[in-house]
Amino acid sequence: FSRALKPVASVAVQNGAKFSTTSQKNFKVVVAGAAGGIGQPLALLLKQNSLVTRLALYDIAPVTPGVAVDLSHMDTPAQVTGHKGPEQLAAAVECADLVVIPAGVPRKPGMTRDDLFNTNASIVRDIADCVAKNAPKAIMAIITNPVNSMVPIASEVLKKAGVYDPAKVLGVTTLDVVRAAAFIGEINCVDPTTVKIPVIGGHSGVTIIPVLSQSCPAVNLTDQGKIEALTKRIQEAGTEVVKAKAGGGSATLSMAYAGARLACAVLRGLKGDSDAVECAYVKSDLTEATYFANPVQFGPNGVEKNLGYGELNDYEKELLKAAIPELLKNIKTGENFANK
């Protein structure tokens, strides 16, 4: 059994040419913040992913080892380990291929994602620092809000440690895509899993730009007012959940689903699949904002190709114009924090 967990690498000889192929199908994934509202269902979903053979659950909460024991009783291959407290973080991330980070506090009614900055910035900084020292080649996928600022923080920490690779740090914006597809599915009366819709920019308020003009199938709305209302609903969908939970937190289950989907795309890229595409918030030179979300293709080293955001209509161009100053501000806040 343990042999089955080892990476499979081979050198093939064809027509006299030598080339390497990797067919690794066994990855170590870490969830940092694994005992939380997102972390637990995310771990549950990752335990069912056949590409995950080691699943390390890290949190500061006392229940963490118990969550690991609980999941370890599932009859799927991933070996689950629990790691509680900062002194166990290094062991959790060692040899990781992917570290997914939902550690930190969520919003309560009336709060913006930026209100979480003071608490969550140091949490993400410290986890990134530990990853830099103990798993410098791991891909980091950050769920913690405000995502727009957390990705620059992690990037600056990795830069300082001399191990920064922009292809390996990403902000998880998949939930915005999932929500957009769910709402369009409802409007069009079609199975939402068949809807393809890019959501670009960032992950908060006006920085969330659903590119409805590129929806496939086309959104069944002709009235511009209705397009704008749908855009607003996608931008404010997180707040819709925060209000409905009435103080009990923000989106957790749909986020876990979205996080597992993103993780799956990253792992499929690492494995060598050529069609692992999702939107993610990454280092970018497409706009003035140095980090920007849009569809990217994952490969053996993380983000392999930035697929850009294609043609925007006039309304979407206006949305982009409104998003850029906010993104620039969020990015600066993150970078200033990391470099202070």
Does residue 294 interact with ligand NAI by CB under 6 A? no
What DSSP assignment string belongs to 243-299? HHTTTS-S--HHHHHHHHHHHHHHHHHHHT-TT-EEEEEEE--SSSSSEEEEEEEEE
Q: Does 35 bind ligand NAI (CB under 6 A)?
A: yes
Q: How far is the CB of 36 from ligand NAI (least distance, A)?
A: 2
Query: What burial letters (b/e) apply to 296-334, b meaning 16+ CB within 10 Å?
Result: bbbbeebbbebeebeebeeebeebbeebbebbbebbebb
* Binding region for ligand NAI (CB under 6 A) out of 67-75, 160-168, 191-199, 246-254: 246-254
DSSP output for 48-107: T-TTEEEEEEEESSTTHHHHHHHHHTSSSS-EEEEEESGGGHHHHHTT-SEEEE--S---
Given 26, 120, 204, 294, the residue binding ligand NAI (CB under 6 A): 120
**Per CB under 6 A, does 209 bind ligand NAI?**
no
Tell me if 259 is assigned to a ligand binding site.
Answer: no
At closest approach, how far in Å is the CB of 130 from ligand NAI?
10
- Cβ proximity to ligand NAI, 176 vs 335, nearer residue: 176
For residue 94, give every residue at least 6 positions away whose Cβ sits within 8 Å of its Cβ, in sequence order, or none.
Answer: 134, 135
Return the residue of 104, 210, 269, 295 that touches ligand NAI, per CB under 6 A: 104
Integer Cα distance of 68 and 224 in angstroms: 49
Given 83, 203, 268, 283, which residue is catalytic? 203
251 lies in the site for ligand NAI, by CB under 6 A: yes
Q: Which is nearer to ligand NAI, 26 or 284 (CB)?
A: 284
The one-letter code for the residue type at 46 is: L
Structure tokens that stand for 145 in this block: 């809000």
Q: How many residues does the chain have?
A: 340
Select the residue interacting with ligand NAI from 235, 239, 250, 330 (CB under 6 A): 250
Q: Does 124 bind ligand NAI (CB under 6 A)?
A: no
In the shown chain, the binding pattern of residues 59 to 98 toward ligand NAI, with x for contact by CB under 6 A and - for none, equals: xxx-------------------------------------
Q: Which of 12, 117, 67 minimizes the C-alpha distance to 329? A: 117
Query: How many residues of this chain interact with ligand NAI, rule: CB under 6 A?
Result: 31
Cα separation of 283 and 168, whole Å?
Answer: 10
Q: Least distance from C-beta 326 to ligand NAI, angstroms?
A: 16
User: Per-residue x/- mask for ligand NAI, residues 254 to 273, rule CB under 6 A?
Assistant: -x------------------
- β 169-171/139-142 pair status: parallel
Please tell me the distance from the alpha carbon of residue 199 to that of residue 176, in angstroms, as a whole number. 7
Instruction: Report the sign of the C-alpha dihedral through residues 140, 121, 291, 175, in that order.
Output: positive
203 is catalytic: yes
Q: Under the criterion CB under 6 A, does residue 302 sit at the interface with ligand NAI?
A: no
Q: Which is nearer to ligand NAI, 125 or 283 (CB)?
A: 125
What's the one-letter identity of residue 129?
A: D
Q: Which residues pair with 11 in a beta bridge?
A: 20
Q: Is 255 annotated as a binding residue?
A: yes
CB of 153 to ligand NAI, least distance (A): 13
**With respect to ligand NAI, which residue has the nearer C-beta, 167 or 237?**
237
Binding residues for NAD(+): 33-39, 59, 120, 143-145, 255
Binding residues for substrate: 107, 113, 145, 179
Q: What are the catalytic residues?
A: 203
Binding residues vs ligand NAI (CB under 6 A): 32-33, 35-39, 59-61, 102-107, 116, 120, 123, 143-145, 147, 172, 175, 203, 249-252, 255
